A and B are shown apart, each in its own frame.
Chain A
Amino acid sequence: MTGRALVVGGGLAGCAAALELARAGHPVRLLAAGPGATAMTGGSLDVAAASPGVPHLPWRDPLRGTALATDGRLGFLLSGASLHPYTRLHGAGGRDELVAAARDAVDRLRSWLAPSQLGVEGDLGTNRLLPTAQGTLRITDHALSGPAEADLTGSSRVLIAEAPGVEGWDARGCARTLIHEIEALGLGPLPVEVVALRRPLSRGAQTAARVAARLDGPDGDRILTEALHGIGTAGEVVLLPQVVGLRRTRERLRGLATGGRRVGEVIAFPPHALAGYRLQCALDAALAAAEVEVIRARAGQVRVDGERYRVDPAAGQSFPVQEADALVLATGRFVGGGLVAGPEGVREPLLGLPLSDPEGRRVDGIPAHRSVRKGYGNPQPLYSAGVMVDEELRPVAAPGRGLWAAGEWIGGFDPARERTGLGTALITGVAAGRRAAAHLDAGAP
């Protein structure tokens, strides 16, 4: 008889672990309190995106002056005293092993998202140049459908669509900054222009989400086709805000890519972003397809009884105590709910585990404001701390042998500054799921 597998956390890390466990043939349950950071992401899936200004993660090739691709940057991440979860996982095998693991994990993700028509474009050896809504360029390795189609690499002209009424979208401002970025990065000549759509996408002033919902309606495809009629020719990229529906984004953008033009979306951030929401929806669909049993509720406390874990409902939640022989915790940081900043200080609510930043500074039990530094651009202990894990991704100081950590819940890195957010969630999630599966296969308990 196979043991029971349980995952807590429904972001990319938790879903990846659950889907790997399911693939290995284990019945899995997943507890998720609600959407976390994954659902807020902007459209890039960063394994190790360029992060200018972060000292230990150079983004330009020191010799050639060009932007380093991710496989190169991973080498830097593994060297030195970094406590990034990547080093825990593949420190011994070095860069090549990490690169192989990342490739493999991205392939898994592609297979999960494909039925939802959400693509993951890119690879670790080249940079994608993704314009953001503000006109800055995000240089990264992978992108999700929508922004993926807006990769400026190899394009001959950028046309930024004016979409009056779409909240948070300023085509002229985007163009101004983009021209500057292209020049500063030496990408030119690459002309940038603002174009008017043939018909409006929104009805008056509307949020991006509302416009997207409208474009998901029966007339959506026609509205888009008409709006873009005759705009852009071969080699040109047309940029839209994140409004091209909540579903079938890739299929639609491909449909719009007529005559050699491409149509894509900018990278965007809350409250004007949809990419993360699409990702979360596609992951939820994958869980359903893999017959992962999802309990939409918040876990309270994790107890261990011999080699078996018991997960209680949080106050006010009603589900039977969950028992598990293999448990993956992927509850994220503050946005996810995996860390809590309360009057007694910062804590990890499920097990009360110690939390440390990359320099080994403890932040648990200390009021949040004591774990921040004055300068905004400085490394912030509060936002780079999480649970510490060993090479097996087992939380240090956690009881039992059947427990693994994944995603942002793991400390030692700052996803915002270092730009390795979804990549870490994916790679550690896949790894944790496989380890949990192996544990069960080995006959645990």
Chain B
Amino acid sequence: MSGATRARQAQVLLIGGGINGTGIARDLALRGVSVLLVERREIGSGTSWASSGMIHGGLRYLQQDPEVTHHSCLDSGAIQRIAPHLVFRIPFLMPIFADDPIGPELVEVGLEMYDAYQPLKNGRPHTRLTPAQALELEPALSDRLECAFTLDEWGVDAARLCVANALDATGHGARVLTHTEALAPLLSGTGEVVGATVRDTLTGERFDVHADLTLNAAGPWVPQVAEMMGESVIQRPGKGIHLVFERRVSNLAIYAKGVDGRDMFTFPHEQNSMAGTTDDDYYGDLDRIDTTEDEVAYVLQAMERSIPTIRHHRITHTIQGVRPTMYGFGSYEDELSRDYAIIDHGREGQAQGLFTITGGKLAAYRLMAEDAADQLCARLGNREPCRTAELPLPGGEEEADVGALATRHAIGLPAALRLAFRHGSRADEVLAGADPELRPAKLVCACEPVLDTELRHVARTEGLRKLSDCQLRVRLGVGACQGSGCGASAAGVLAEELGWDAERTIHELAELAALRWRAVAPVLEGAQVTAMEVHRSVHFGMIGMSGDLP
């Protein structure tokens, strides 16, 4: 067999590089299964990135679906063990108002039940605060509150968690191809699915991937991919948006109630605060999900009840995604189960060799991956045990010494902290990898201290392929400047690393700008209007206007 052909052969072909696809790739690779994963865009760029990034225990499922809560809490604990660097504690504050549908006593009963699960995820039990205590913690809270509760959850950089899984998978022999789309099934003479024809969307190259088993892990695209394979999977797609604030609005995550009684929250997330989320049926174009004015109004109205000054804060952009929720009939979108299913199409449909994973949550990804991998391994006759709960993800091996990093590599403490958060114990490697003449590291963006060294590292060792991928991979262009300050510098660094010619470099820059515009436009208001005026002048002044910008 020629090398080229072998490269397109695997025991398992995974379609979709969200948290499920990457989590399963890692699990299988650790068991010695040969895996090839295709992701049609960037790792994590589907629903995973649009999530709240909360490794929470699923308090809201406690009533309908305690099983989900249990799964989530258990796995939250596991994720903290294997990726301590990527996970951060988010204490929640839940203000209770006189006109709340549920009074404090009943809320506390629920929280007491939830306390029972907290030890699974290193969470502290809830506390009850007087209004004065709550206002001392969060002075921006509405002083109409009757009392408040605290509870503990955990957050994660979801995109980075996907990448960490993908990296560990590749470290154990898996192949991960981004910007590669599954187009059509490969069928054996007897009609079994034996892989797929895929297409590299950047080069246009098409090739076949032969695999014993194929797993559809395409999140909300699961029905589309299933249909392409001649099968049917029904979801109840639920769209959700977040508003992203330029900086932190509060220290704690703060609960709020929508006009319809839904729970929402404003929560600190990395440099920013986010507020969300919504949950509405969505049957539109999954590749062009836009936030609507109604959704923004709905979130802000809810937040305003808890934080009356919320509208004074600057919103830079929105993120939006569609939950791959399991199909259920009749219930409100929000009450639909977040549980998941693994479908063996050979058994439940026609397509032998094809599996689908659908539903679930980020927080429970590891358990779901274990379940999926168990089923695939059983089919492959592989008896290796799952090891994803014990082995650390890349960077999770030990704690990075931030002070030493900053000193050794002559970078600022905030930049060092940021790298330690993103790369854990490998942060030193990221900085040491740069060629001597490129030291000390240069600041590419000032909104968040993104260093050129990190860009070079992800280009060299993580298979990064596009400037716009940097939005997720290194959080480039997601701050106040939306890429006007950093886009060109980053494009220059990547051009050098990836050998882009000038035309490609300019195209990448134009694409990033167009994507940022899409993220900003629905919430363009206040100071961000001014920032985007500068953005346009810089961008059009730099690379000229061309009618065919996306």
Q: Is there an interface contact between A377 and B529, defined as CB atoms closer than 8 Å?
A: no
Number of A-B contacts (CB under 8 A): 143
Residue of A nearest to B527 (CB): A341
Chain A residues with CB under 8 A of B335: none
With A335-B534, A368-B529 as known contacts, state yes or no: A132 contacts B502, CB within 8 Å: no
Q: Is there an interface contact between A417 and B543, defined as CB atoms closer than 8 Å?
A: no
Q: Is there an interface contact between B547 and A37, defined as CB atoms closer than 8 Å?
A: no
The answer to whether the Cβ of A349 comes within 8 Å of any Cβ in the partner chain is no
0 or 1 for each of B122-137: is its CB under 8 Å from A? (1 = yes): 0000000000000000
Q: Is there an interface contact between B492 and A132, defined as CB atoms closer than 8 Å?
A: no
Give Cα distance in the complex from A136 to B542, angstroms.
Answer: 7
Which of A75-83, A175-183, A278-286 is found at the contact surface with chain B?
Answer: A175-183
The answer to whether the Cβ of A168 comes within 8 Å of any Cβ in the partner chain is yes
Give Cα distance in the complex from A334 to B503, angstroms.
Answer: 32
The answer to whether the Cβ of A382 comes within 8 Å of any Cβ in the partner chain is yes
Minimum Cβ distance to chain A for residue B219 (Å):
24
With A55-B547, A341-B529, A369-B524 as known contacts, state yes or no: A176 contacts B505, CB within 8 Å: yes
Which interface residue of B505, B513, B545 has the most chain A CB atoms within 10 A? B545
| Apart from A267-B541, A421-B537: 13 A-B pairs, beta carbons within 8 A | A40-B534, A40-B537, A53-B546, A167-B443, A168-B489, A170-B492, A173-B495, A173-B505, A176-B505, A180-B501, A367-B525, A375-B550, A377-B547
Give Cα distance in the complex from A40 to B537, angstroms.
Answer: 10
The answer to whether the Cβ of A72 comes within 8 Å of any Cβ in the partner chain is no
Q: Is there an interface contact between A52 and B544, defined as CB atoms closer than 8 Å?
A: yes
Chain B residues with CB under 8 A of A377: 514, 545-550
0 or 1 for each of B514-533: is its CB under 8 Å from A? (1 = yes): 10011001111110011011
The answer to whether the Cβ of A415 comes within 8 Å of any Cβ in the partner chain is yes
Candidates A205, A335, A342; contact of B533 at CB < 8 Å: A335
Chain A residues with CB under 8 A of B521: 369, 372, 374
Q: Is there an interface contact between A417 and B485, defined as CB atoms closer than 8 Å?
A: no
Chain A residues with CB under 8 A of B548: 53, 377
Would you list which residues of chain A between 339 and 382 have a CB under 8 Å from chain B? 341-343, 346, 367-370, 372, 374-377, 380, 382
Q: Is there an interface contact between B541 and A173, defined as CB atoms closer than 8 Å?
A: no
For the complex, count residues of A whose C-beta is within 8 A of B: 54
Chain A residues with CB under 8 A of B538: 269-270
Q: Is there an interface contact between A132 and B505, defined as CB atoms closer than 8 Å?
A: no
Which interface residue of B442, B532, B533, B550 has the most chain A CB atoms within 10 A? B533
Residue of B nearest to A166 (CB): B442
0 or 1 for each of B442-460: is its CB under 8 Å from A? (1 = yes): 1100100000000000000
- Size bin of chain B's contact surface: 35 or more
Chain A residues with CB under 8 A of B529: 334, 341, 346, 368, 382
The answer to whether the Cβ of B506 comes within 8 Å of any Cβ in the partner chain is yes
Give Cα distance in the complex from A267 to B311, angstroms.
Answer: 38
Q: Is there an interface contact between A334 and B544, defined as CB atoms closer than 8 Å?
A: no
Residue of B nearest to A378 (CB): B549
Q: Is there an interface contact between A376 and B517, defined as CB atoms closer than 8 Å?
A: yes
Chain B residues with CB under 8 A of A65: none
Q: Is there an interface contact between B546 and A136, defined as CB atoms closer than 8 Å?
A: no
0 or 1 for each of A312-341: is its CB under 8 Å from B? (1 = yes): 000000000000000000000111000001
Candidates A42, A369, A417; contact of B525 at CB < 8 Å: A369
Candidates B518, B526, B536; contact of A341 at CB < 8 Å: B526
Candidates B493, B502, B517, B547; contact of A179 at CB < 8 Å: B502
Chain B residues with CB under 8 A of A180: 501-503
Q: Is there an interface contact between B540 and A417, defined as CB atoms closer than 8 Å?
A: yes
Residue of B nearest to A332 (CB): B533
Minimum Cβ distance to chain B for residue A357 (Å):
14
The answer to whether the Cβ of B440 comes within 8 Å of any Cβ in the partner chain is yes
Q: Is there an interface contact between A271 and B485, defined as CB atoms closer than 8 Å?
A: yes
Minimum Cβ distance to chain B for residue A277 (Å):
14
Minimum Cβ distance to chain B for residue A23 (Å):
30
Candidates A37, A55, A136; contact of B506 at CB < 8 Å: A136
The answer to whether the Cβ of A127 comes within 8 Å of any Cβ in the partner chain is no
Residue of B nearest to A415 (CB): B537
Question: Can you list 30 A-B pairs, Cβ within 8 angstroms, ordered by A?
Answer: A37-B533, A134-B492, A134-B543, A135-B502, A138-B541, A167-B443, A168-B489, A173-B491, A173-B496, A176-B502, A177-B502, A270-B485, A271-B446, A334-B529, A343-B525, A367-B525, A369-B293, A369-B524, A369-B525, A372-B521, A374-B518, A374-B521, A375-B517, A376-B549, A377-B545, A377-B546, A382-B529, A416-B533, A417-B545, A421-B537
Give Cα distance in the complex from A54 to B547, angstroms.
Answer: 7
The answer to whether the Cβ of A189 comes within 8 Å of any Cβ in the partner chain is no
Minimum Cβ distance to chain B for residue A47 (Å):
15
Chain B residues with CB under 8 A of A271: 446, 485
Minimum Cβ distance to chain B for residue A35 (Å):
12
Give Cα distance in the complex from A421 to B537, angstroms.
Answer: 10
